[in-house]
Structure 1
């Protein structure tokens, strides 16, 4: 991105911060801003326009120091995108798509691209029928409840019941067959990420894996956007005709951050503020894998009690 002065000179529209509410910053004076547009602050902070109000704009703080009251802000007329190329293979990205740890990349030179994190799904006439099986490497699953390429799968169960091991085995089997895996970690511990990295590094398959991880210490915005960033990376390889498995771990925590952001935005306490968010707020995210023709599996480890609560609370009245 360019500097604040460059955007100000280009757009000639300046606003000011009138309020601060944890993850959100209230900005007044930029009436031409659009939802999901990036906002630049004079203290080098970057925000995302999340909600348009009659007099102000509620901006989600993404990176940089938190703007103080009176800090100037201007438009960028740019949407939030993720830059992807062959070097992301084996790399570790944060929830905003920035490279934290570089990887070995791919010997094959892939074209660079900047993809929006909130891309539109493919139309129905461009989707294929689900016809090919996906080998998970777990014999009992492949025989009794086989999964298919292009299918979305929710892995549910109580703690310590083998969800993580099943997901890891599925990723391992897919990468052994030459596929690519995108791991989207939401509010993970550093120890968990290191364990995952060491495991696939010992198998010599780290260059078939893209890790998009928001740490538990990251901002609320980074944790909220992590699965969308991971989905954009998966779409990049899908469009290149590669076989991709995307894993989101776990969506319970994503629902928690969605609820936190909704409460900070003073939204009414309805179904979108509880774990029923799986069936309301992020249904757009769930629709994405259906259009990922080459993405065979969406795996979301989720405690079964939370999932049952979702089903009960989100049931139509």
Structure 2
């Protein structure tokens, strides 16, 4: 039985921070994502609930400023009479859920988390609405990820393939090319039928304008929505913009389409969690009316208590943090065919550096057989390294511990690194991994790309652990790795179609670049592709249409390589 009512659940504000408020007194069945109204006229949405019923709400703006002691209401839209097999008849309330516009009119537009164009109060995309905090699909609703989403970024498609429905973390230190990579992934969806949503978080107005100009210039704006929370936006608005972008993608997915959602960047989610823990830590025993509440608080504040989470024993605080991060990351999914077979693929960007397994440096004092001068130099080097690490964290990089938490939740990560001196952005083949495995490769790339990844990793190991740098085998491995990195490099803003990636990789592994210096590889590669377009256009068309490297296509690529190699031979 469902009874429509006009009831209001009343709570009280205990603490106010940057874009959030801590609330006490809401009914314990008020769900995350329900809509809140404050006495002052401001609005919010329930984000987090502790076991003692202390809640955290994101503030989403309104006509008034939220203050400590202020009342907050959560409107009940229905009462359900539910019969549970174990507990018997019970009453359950339904609450108003915070929803955002997700209609098709948002394509080609830049909007805020409420679908409003910059500087206006006019909402776009109101032909359809979806919950701001949608639930992640359960396992029965999901299908195995086994279809590639080709991005046009050679280093990504060949080394860390992206599958439709996958969440792949993009990370690296600042200025390592993360934004350039994800924007190229959007450009690579031209005529693919994939709808793109780009969440620009904390960026300047000029940066957002430059992104829109790039998308328009490359004919990518028609299938892309930009959800922006510019610099200066509150923490609540930034996090809401991330969730709103995912909500737009969820609507595409639930209608049977395919969406690529890019979050640039995810750091504000870390800030939200830190705000939650900091705010709740300031609440003393006076915040609870009953002694039992104090016991629950003490139990939840015990960060060393071990609990079972996803088959692991972890600290209670770590389990809560992981659950919070997962609530967003695991909204990516490939739905089962019975639900339409749509997908939401997620590329979240987060600045940081993963652990390298190098351990902590030993204390300088333990080196007994070095001179005072050498000890001083070593100490200075360690201090410089420590300052550089701290500086990198202060400049917007999250802690390694937090970064690896996201890495373990996502379906893999692509780690970018900028080579010193060259300014070239590359993918670290050892630290980058896709947990979907070869299923995420398009068939035309599968065998060739797996071999390339292995050879690059082998070259890194040889350079690190090889005892004889003059050995011919080591020199050959190092030379191939340099040529491969040069072949994978590409100009930002120019995604490479699948058929050209396959041709490049086939040429690389056929030894076409063996006697070419790395600096000349891009030119030789360009000449080969242009020649292939002229002499063997059917080969490229065949690979593009079938996404397969057939025997006929292999033969055509081999013929083209022989012809171009003959043209470059000294005798000719």
Above 0.5 in TM-score?
Answer: yes
- Residue 234, structure 1, aligned to residue 268, structure 2: no
SS in 1 for 2:170: coil
Does 2:400 align with 1:308? yes
1:67 is the counterpart of 2:115: no
In the other structure, the counterpart of 2:152 is 137
Q: Secondary structure of 1:300's partner?
A: strand
Q: Is the 8 A contact 2:167 2:330 kept in 1?
A: no
Which shifted more, 110-119 or 51-60? Answer: 51-60
The gaps in structure 2 that reach 5 residues or longer are: 76-94, 282-299, 304-314, 336-340, 354-397, 409-572
Deviation at 1:196, TM superposition (A): 0.9
Corresponding residue number in structure 2 for 1:168: 183
Between the aligned partners of 1:56 and 1:32, the Cα distance in structure 2 is 9
Q: Secondary structure at the match of 1:238?
A: helix
Larger radius of gyration: 2
Residue matched to 1:46: 43
Against the structure 1 CA distance between its residues 123 and 13, is the aligned structure 2 distance closer, same or farther, given a 3 Å change threshold?
closer
**Structure 2 CA distance for aligned equivalents of residues 129 and 33 of structure 1:** 33
- The aligned length equals 299
| Residue equivalent to 1:192 | 207
The residue matched to 1:281 in structure 2 has which SS? helix
Taking the aligned partners of 1:285 and 1:178, their CA distance within structure 2 comes to: 24
Relative contact order, CA 8 A, sep 6+: which one is greater? Answer: 1
Question: Are 1:281 and 2:280 matched, yes or no?
Answer: no
Alignment gaps of 5+ in structure 1? 1-8
Q: Is the 8 A contact 1:80 1:116 kept in 2?
A: yes
CA change 1:300–1:73 in 2 (3 A) is: closer
| Corresponding residue for residue 109 of structure 2 | 91
Aligned to 1:126: 141
Moved more, 176-185 or 30-39: 30-39
Secondary structure of 1:156's match? strand
> Compared with structure 1, are the counterparts of its residues 243 and 262 closer, same or farther at alpha carbon in structure 2 (3 Å cutoff)?
same
Superposition RMSD in Å: 3.6
CA distance, structure 1, for counterparts of residue 406 and residue 164 of structure 2 = 28
Describe the shift of the 1:23–1:138 C-alpha distance in structure 2 as closer, same or farther (beyond 3 A).
closer
Aligned partner of 1:299 in structure 2 is 347
Matched residues in 2 for 1:315 and 1:289: separation? 14
1:272–1:281 contact (8 Å) kept in structure 2: no
Q: Which residue of 2 aligns with 1:5?
A: none
* TM-score (norm. length: structure 2): 0.46
The 3 A distance-change label for structure 1 pair 297 and 14 is closer
TM-score with structure 1 length normalisation? Answer: 0.78
Q: Note the C-alpha offset of 1:182.
A: 0.8
Alpha-carbon shift at residue 304 of structure 1 (Å): 3.4
The question of whether the paired residues in 2 share the 8 Å contact of 1:157 and 1:303 is answered with yes
Q: Secondary structure at the match of 1:74?
A: strand
User: Relative to 1, partners in 2 of residues 1:86 and 1:160: Cα closer, same or farther, differing over 3 Å?
Assistant: same
The structure where strand makes up a greater share of residues is 1
125 and 216 in structure 1: CA distance in 2 versus 1, 3 angstrom threshold: same
1:113-169 Cα deviation digits (max 9, x unpaired)? 321122223332332222222221123433344322222212222222222222111
